[in-house]
Structures are given as structure tokens and as C-alpha cells.
């Protein structure tokens, strides 16, 4: 391990069996953190935990199986984490994707919105008491610059009337930003910070849900994209740096505060989204 700056810290990362999430997990493990990764493939999860342990010399790497398209599994994952660990210092809501054609989660929600936003809303809510008890602690929500092209369409949140891959994705990334900022307001005074991140245009398997044509275009564009390791740097910074220990409710890109979209700062929209998200997940919150 090259550093001990995160020794004694417990970090939970969603979508950390590949891409940005895995790169984030490797770096934080290398800093000495106990890293728990969430992924839907058990075999892959076990393999990745072994890879990270071997690469960093840190044996405190754990895996919890969870398909974020199932809120039953999200609730089970939160319970499993709390049964294994008594504190949580950093939660990184990282997993995300995009789909060329509309499909729904196990619970009947539009897949992009369900996985990118609702699953993380539920997971974070279920872990909030532990995060507060572990304060000072941090929540990092991986959004995207795509949020600037997004709009929360409360009349067609599940995109049943009209679906477009970018429209659904940008809405979900705007939801991520709104969620992070509303979290920061609700957690004021608790010692828990919440910030949103744009990782940059990153070469990962992100475009696999776009269909053949979309994947081909993504592969062409990916030549100009940055590596997952570079894309993970802002999440790592927010998770570990003492410079941002007390910074909350901000949007970061390239480890610097950036101005998010006007709608992402709309507190009325944020409160309404929170209320709607609570209604959609209330069965699992009780």
C-alpha cells in the first residue's frame, strides 16, 4: 500500500466490479481503507476483490452481491452491510448505465431512472443512520455533465410516453445531482457531507446497453475519452482528501467545484423529487 491515509475507514462503493467504480476501489484500498464493493455478479465480485487485494496488499476487501434493478436486493444489501460493519465512513453511489431501448426494472420502474437514481436513493436512505452515527462521514454521488441536458419530467418520469436513451440518462443524472444537493441540505449539522461528481468522459463498458449502433458510435467516441483511473480521481478526492472534509452540497469535476445546471439547484424540484422517490420506494423503507 502506497499510503495509510484511509486506514480505519470503511468505504462502500456501488458498481465497483469494473470501470470507474473498480478504479476508485483500487485507489482507496491502496490508501488502506476497508473497501466493500457492490455488484450483481457473484463470481466476478469474488474475482475482483481478489484482484484488488493482490494489487494493493490490502486484504480488507469485501463484496456484497446486489442487482440494483431489484429494490428487494438493495434492501438486502444494506442489511447485509450493517450486519458486517459497525460504521460507514464513505458511501460512493457510483453505479450507472444507459439503455438504447426502454425497459423496466424488476419493480416496474424505467430501468435507467430505477438503477441510476432510485436504487441509490433507497440504499443511501437505509444507511443514513449508520452514516450519521459514523460522522464525520461522506456521501459521493456520481452524476455526469449530462445532467445539464436533463429535465425531471414529473408527468412522464418513467418515460412511458416518449423514450430516448439520452433523455432518460440525462434525467437520471440530473436526479443524482438533485439528490446529492438535497441530501446536503437535510444533513446539515450532522457531520455527513454529500457532493455530486462529474467523472469526465471515460472509456468503460458503459455503452453496452445502447444496442449495436449505439455501441459502435460509443466505441468510436471512446478513442477520445479518458481512462477509468483518471475518471475515478474526483470520487477518490471527495472520499479521502482533508481539503474537502467540510465541503457539502457542491458539484465537482476534475477535483474542482463547478457550476451545475440551474434545475439541479432548484430546491422546489429537489424536494418534489425526494417526495416522489420516497413514495416509489416506501415499501422497502419500512
Which residues are designated catalytic?
A: 169
SS3 220: helix
C-alpha span between 143 and 156 (Å, rounded): 21
Q: Whole-angstrom Cα distance, residue 274 to residue 270? A: 6
Count CB-CB contacts under 10 A for residue 188: 12
How far are the Cα atoms of 146, 181, 235, 267, 275 from residue 143, in angstroms, in the given order?
8, 11, 11, 17, 20
How far apart, in whole angstroms, are the C-alpha atoms of residue 103 and residue 111? 6
CB 19 within 8 A of CB 204: yes
Distance CA 275, CA 175 (A): 12
Amino acid at each position: 500500500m502506497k499510503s495509510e491515509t484511509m486506514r480505519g475507514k470503511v468505504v462502500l462503493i456501488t458498481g465497483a466490479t469494473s470501470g470507474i467504480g473498480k478504479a476508485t476501489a483500487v485507489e482507496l484500498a491502496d490508501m488502506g481503507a476497508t473497501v466493500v464493493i457492490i455488484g450483481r455478479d457473484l463470481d466476478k465480485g469474488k474475482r475482483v476483490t481478489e484482484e484488488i487485494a493482490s494489487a494493493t496488499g490490502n486484504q480488507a476487501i469485501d463484496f456484497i452481491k446486489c442487482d440494483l434493478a431489484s429494490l428487494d436486493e438493495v434492501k438486502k444489501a444494506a442489511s447485509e452491510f450493517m450486519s458486517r460493519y459497525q460504521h460507514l465512513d464513505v458511501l460512493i453511489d457510483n453505479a450507472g448505465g444507459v439503455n438504447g431501448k426502454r425497459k423496466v426494472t424488476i419493480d416496474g420502474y424505467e430501468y435507467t431512472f430505477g438503477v441510476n437514481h432510485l436504487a441509490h436513493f433507497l440504499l443511501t436512505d437505509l444507511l443514513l443512520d449508520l452514516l450519521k452515527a459514523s460522522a464525520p462521514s461522506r456521501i459521493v454521488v456520481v452524476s455526469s455533465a449530462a445532467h445539464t441536458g436533463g429535465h425531471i419530467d414529473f408527468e412522464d418520469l418513467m418515460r412511458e410516453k416518449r423514450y430516448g436513451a439520452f433523455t432518460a440518462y440525462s434525467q437520471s443524472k440530473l436526479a443524482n445531482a438533485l439528490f446529492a444537493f438535497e441530501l446536503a441540505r437535510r444533513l446539515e449539522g450532522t457531520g455527513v457531507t454529500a457532493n455530486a461528481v462529474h467523472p469526465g468522459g471515460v472509456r468503460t463498458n458503459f455503452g453496452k446497453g445502447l444496442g449495436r449502433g449505439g455501441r459502435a458510435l460509443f466505441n468510436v467516441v471512446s478513442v477520445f475519452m479518458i481512462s477509468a483511473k483518471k475518471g475515478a480521481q474526483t470520487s477518490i478526492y471527495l472520499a479521502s482528501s482533508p481539503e474537502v472534509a467540510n465541503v457539502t452540497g457542491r458539484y465537482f469535476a476534475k477535483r474542482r467545484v463547478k457550476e451545475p445546471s440551474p434545475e439541479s439547484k432548484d430546491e422546489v424540484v429537489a424536494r418534489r423529487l425526494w417526495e416522489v422517490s420516497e413514495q416509489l420506494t416506501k415499501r422497502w423503507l419500512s
